[in-house]
Amino acid sequence: MGRLEVKVLDGTPPPFTRMISPYLLICGDEAIMIDSGSRTSAEALVEQVKGEGVRLKAIVLTHIHLDHGGGAGSLYRLLGSVEKVLVHPRGLRHLVDPSRLWEASRSYLGPYADYFGKPESLPEGVVEAPDDGASIAFCGDRLRIIYTPGHASHHMSMLLEGEGILFTGDSAGVSVVDDSVRVEVPTNPPPFKPLLYYESLLKMIRLGRGVVEKVALGHYGFRDDGLGYLERHARDIIRWFKMAYEAVSRGASDPGALAEVLARELEEASRGYKSSNPIVREFFYMGAVNGLLDAALRKEPLPQVAYT
């Protein structure tokens, strides 16, 4: 048995880089991947895996959205070594038959769906759904599954207990560097459930006390402030919720209007709004705006007590 290593991979389809980050857990000549990137990043990820000289045995997906789980079927086909793909029970059937996922993605994402690509299907016997709290033994450590709905009903995060690394997928926001400026925005496209998102954050904070040293984000890479990052995001997200709901109550009924209001009121929103990178502005920032607008118009409940 080798020493456990955790490496960030770049799963961003060209022409962009460092926006989508799967992770490789390496033990000797074997590996597990957290998230699979998209169909259009699969070939590049295969080269990164081969460059590490390892055999990829399993893929664990935080969720099935195209940028996180869309490449799983392609990696399975291209590598020929993947024995199982783990996903939340609600996502399982969409990996076996991704047709409904693809149509829903095209309806919401428009041209971004083609940027990420149509997922390839996986054999039914390869896909498994772990329970909340289940753990996977690997290289003398344990990868614990944590159900974290909110961003999506089928979202899971994972805690590598011995290493103190929490893989959050899209359950704890985006933190990317765009033209030397760090942009941090929520990850909440419609249909968004603010209360579930916030409760999942608190769940991760509670489980992470005394354990979490690093947070491994789906967008992008490690945050060494670990639990501090989660606590800050829990405080920040309340401001996003309140300002969005207040703006909608005053008549901001379309994404453009809400995007402008949030950009005037919140520094983090302003950086996303002003970005010249379409992934940051249109996919991350406007995705958050659309989700907040959707939740406010549907009068989704908000947390009653802010994290302090």
Please compute the mean of the pLDDT values over residues 262-267 and round it to a whole number.
96
* Sheet with 156-160: strands ordered across: 135-138, 141-147, 156-160, 165-169, 214-217, 221-223
Q: What is the pLDDT of residue 308?
A: 60
- Domains defined for the chain, CATH in brackets: 4-172+211-225 (3.60.15.10)
Task: Tell whether the model's pLDDT for residue 176 goes beyond 90.
Answer: yes
Q: What is the rounded CA–CA span in Å between residue 243 and residue 42?
A: 38
Q: Is the pTM higher than 0.85?
A: yes
Query: Residue 304 — pLDDT band, cuts 50, 70, 90?
Result: confident
Tokens of 30: 């074997």
For residue 280, name the pLDDT band (cuts at 50, 70, 90): very high
Tell me if 216 sits within 8 A of 167, measured CB to CB: yes
pLDDT at 306: 67
Q: What is the pLDDT of residue 179?
A: 83
Q: How confident is the model at residue 289 (pLDDT cuts 50, 70, 90)?
A: very high
Q: How far, in Å, CA of 306 to CA of 86, rounded?
A: 33
What's the pLDDT tens digit per position in 68-125?
999 999 999 999 999 999 999 999 999 999 999 999 999 999 989 999 999 999 999 9
The answer on pLDDT for 244 being more than 60 is yes
Question: Residue 90 carries which DSSP code?
Answer: G
Structure tokens at 13: 């389809």
pLDDT beyond 60 at 130:
yes
Q: What is the rounded CA–CA span in Å between residue 122 and residue 127?
A: 7
Cα 239-244-249 angle, rounded to 5 deg: 130
Q: List the alpha helices (DSSP H) in the chain.
A: 42-51, 66-69, 72-79, 92-96, 99-109, 111-116, 194-208, 227-249, 255-265, 267-274, 278, 286-297
- Whether the pLDDT of residue 259 is over 80: the answer is yes
Structure confidence by residue, pLDDT tens digits, 139-168: 999 999 999 999 999 999 999 999 999 999
Instruction: Tell me the pLDDT of the chain averaged across its residues.
Output: 96
What local confidence, expressed as pLDDT, does residue 1 receive? 56
High-pLDDT (> 70) share of the chain, %: 98
At residue 307 the predicted structure's pLDDT band, cuts being 50, 70 and 90, is: low
Q: How much is the average pLDDT of 190-210?
A: 95
Contact 30/39 with Cβ under 8 angstroms?
no
The yes-or-no verdict on residue 2 having pLDDT over 90 is no
Residue 277's pLDDT is 95
- Please enumerate in sequence order all residues whose Cβ is within 8 A of that of 116, keeping only pairs 6 or more positions apart, or say none: 13, 38, 39, 40, 66, 67, 70, 105, 109
* Per-residue confidence (pLDDT) for residue 210, from 0 to 100: 93
Q: What is the pLDDT of residue 87?
A: 98
Question: Which pLDDT band, with edges at 50, 70 and 90, does 212 fall under?
Answer: very high
